[in-house]
Amino acid sequence: MENRDEAPPGGVTEQVNDGAPDTEVVARVLGGDGEAFGILIRRYEPGLLRFATRMLGNPDAAADAVAESLVRAYRHLAQCRDPGRLRSWLYRITGNRCRSHLARRHMNDISLSDAPPLADGSDAWAVLERSEQVALVERALAALPAEKREAFVLKHVEGMSYEEMAAVTGARIPTLKMRVHRAREALLAALEEVVR
Amino acid sequence: MSPIDPRLQEALDGERDPGDLPADLREAHALLIAATQILTATPPVSVAARVMAEIREHPAPVQSESLVRRLIHWLGRPRAVTVRLRPVWTLALAAGLATVLLLPWALNGGGPTPGVAQGIANFVGHFPGARSVEVVGSFNDWSRGVLHLSDNDGDGIWHAKAVLPAGQHEYMFVVDGERWVPDPLAGRYVDDGFGAGQQNSLLIVRPVSAQP
């Protein structure tokens, strides 16, 4: 990966609000003010990075996917048919890019041996070290099929409605609900196996 | 992996108060919520500088105006101009201009004139009740306000002709300024490249030199 910059101290906060609604910022960019695209980056980059990281299981690959997606979004901004729903459009491009990455390498390639050893089965969730909790959850998420992982992350990590998820993924709402339900079942089974 | 109790699914979907769940389901609910909270941590990186550098290095303003387009806009902008002519000269000038401007147009059948490596594209769409229809596509940087269709007789069939470079072009109709629809008569479509299975219409323009 190239040129990955460190975020400001304390991390990037969610949903930077530079005042102007997306439609106005998009109009500025399309009018030739390329620098205004920075507003959109600051506004949506944290969520896109989080989404891509959860999809790909690798921060470097996620940063690459998000950077490529944002450049692509800039170049094709005029094709955004509803700038009022820019967030869905950006997630769709990023999701598409993540799927391309995943098609080139299987999620199973992610090394699980890097995860710290898990506590004894008799231990409860609360007594697990934070790093162990993170490793456990990430491993359980990575074990999900990509479609279910995507649905779970959009719903529970990005906090989207099923309507917005449908706009992002192109899948129907009942299908998405089913994917989320199945993902919850798989995650819960994986977590309970350890903490009970 | 066993199915989750529907009440737990409802609570996770925000359709039920988790406090109303039995103790075992409340515990499972808390476990899943704790897991999602772990996943909501934002990665401490930023690609903003990298993306902006790429944009600045290869500026491809999506809808930036070319010199020609700026000139057209400048010419199209209303300005106060005062011209004082004698009536006889005014009539003569108008007749001369009409001859110069209309003769080639009439000889050509009233349509746009393509160059050697260009062809004429006919856009036709049936949009009854529409207030406006325009075409955006790869040939005009997907810019709105450039190529409008007209429906002079109000029968809902909208037309436009345009001279385009020979080759393959992707396009869409924009109806009433907000609804993007593919051309149902295009016959060929390509994925728009942004996932979600949306498609652009595909148009192949043949050069006039290749036409019989």
Q: Which residue of B has its CA nearest to A90?
A: B194
Q: How far is CA A101 from the centre of its chain?
A: 13
Work out the minimum CA distance from A169 to partner chain B, whole angstroms.
5
* Distance, CA of A96 to CA of B196 (rounded, Å): 8
Residue A59 with chain B: CB contacts under 8 Å: 43, 45
Test the A interface: residue of B39, B144, B191 with most A CBs within 10 Å: B39
DSSP line for B46-90: E-HHHHHHHHHHS---TTPPPHHHHHHHHHHS---------HHHH
Residues B147-157, mean pLDDT to the nearest whole number: 89
Q: Is the pLDDT of residue B10 over 70?
A: yes
Q: Is the pLDDT of residue B2 over 90?
A: no
Contact state of A95 with B43 under an 8 Å Cβ cutoff: no
pLDDT at B3: 82
pLDDT at A56: 93
Count of C-beta atoms within a 10 Å radius of residue A18: 13
pLDDT at A114: 42
Test the A interface: residue of B10, B25, B45 with most A CBs within 10 Å: B45
Minimum-distance CB partner of B46 among A2, A45, A167: A45
Q: Where are the domains of chain B?
A: 1-58, 85-112, 118-210
Q: Is the dihedral of CA B108, B112, B117, B121 positive or negative?
A: negative
Q: Is the pLDDT of residue A69 over 50?
A: yes
DSSP H/E element including A43 = helix A37-56
Residue A92 with chain B: CB contacts under 8 Å: 194-196
Residues B124-153, mean pLDDT to the nearest whole number: 86
- pTM comes to 0.63
Higher pLDDT, B199 or A74: A74
User: Which residues is B201 bridged to in the sheet?
Assistant: B171, B189
Q: Where are the domains of chain A?
A: 1-105, 110-196
Q: How far is CA A133 from the centre of its chain?
A: 19
User: Which residues is B194 bridged to in the sheet?
Assistant: none
Q: Which residue of B has its CA nearest to A193?
A: B1
Q: Does A169 touch chain B (CB under 8 A)?
A: yes
Q: Which numeric CATH code is attached to B118-210?
A: 2.60.40.10
* Distance, CA of A116 to CA of A103 (rounded, Å): 28
Q: Which residue of B has its CA nearest to A41?
A: B48
CB A186 within 8 A of CB A143: yes
How many CA within 13 A on the CB side of residue A99? Answer: 18
Instruction: Give the percent of chain A with pLDDT over 90.
Output: 53
What is the second-level CATH architecture of the domain A1-105? Orthogonal Bundle (1.10)
**pLDDT (tens digit, 9 = 90+) per residue, A99-115?**
888 877 654 454 433 43
* Distance, CA of A5 to CA of A7 (rounded, Å): 6
Higher pLDDT, A63 or B141: A63
Test the B interface: residue of A35, A68, A79 with most B CBs within 10 Å: A79
Tokens of B157: 């069939």
* Distance, CA of A29 to CA of A31 (rounded, Å): 5
Residue B12 with chain A: CB contacts under 8 Å: 156, 184
* Position B181 confidence tier, pLDDT thresholds 50, 70, 90: confident
* Position A42 confidence tier, pLDDT thresholds 50, 70, 90: very high
**pLDDT (tens digit, 9 = 90+) per residue, B13-58?**
888 899 999 998 998 999 899 889 888 888 888 999 999 998 888 7
AA identity, residue B199? Q
Q: Is the pLDDT of residue B110 over 90?
A: no
Residue B193 with chain A: CB contacts under 8 Å: 76, 96
Higher pLDDT, B86 or B180: B180
Minimum-distance CB partner of B39 among A76, A95, A157: A157
How many CA within 13 A on the CB side of residue B202? Answer: 11
Residues B79-103, mean pLDDT to the nearest whole number: 68
Work out the minimum CA distance from A73 to partner chain B, whole angstroms.
9
Q: How far is CA B52 from the centre of its chain?
A: 24
Residue A195 with chain B: CB contacts under 8 Å: 31
Q: Is the pLDDT of residue A3 over 70?
A: no
Q: Cα angle at B199 between B196 and B201, to 5 degrees?
A: 170
CATH fold of A110-196, please?
Arc Repressor Mutant, subunit A (1.10.10)
